[in-house]
Amino acid sequence: MKKLSAVLAIAAALGLSSQALAVDEPENVIKYRQAVMKAIGGHMASIAGVVKGEVSFTDHVAIHANSINAMSKAVTAAFPEGTDNGSYKTAALPKIWEDWAGFEKAAQALDTASANLASVAASGDKQQIAVAFGDLGKACGACHKPYRVKQ
DSSP letter at 1 equals -
Angle at CA 121, nearest 5°, toward 115 and 54?
120
User: According to the binding rule CB under 6 A, does residue 86 interact with ligand HEC?
Assistant: no
Q: Is 63 in the site for ligand HEC (CB under 6 A)?
A: no
The residue (of 121 and 139) whose beta carbon lies closer to ligand HEC is 139
d(CA 92, CA 20): 29
CA angle 70, 72, 77 (to 5 degrees): 110
Counting contacts by CB under 6 A, is residue 144 touching ligand HEC?
yes
Smaller CB distance to ligand HEC: residue 6 or 149?
149
Query: What is the distance, to the nearest Å, from the Cα of residue 6 to the centroid of all Cα atoms in its chain?
Result: 26
CB of 87 to ligand HEC, least distance (A): 12
Summarize as ranges the residues that interact with ligand HEC (CB under 6 A): 30, 33-34, 37-38, 40-41, 44, 68, 75, 90-92, 103, 106-107, 110, 136, 139-140, 143-144, 147-148
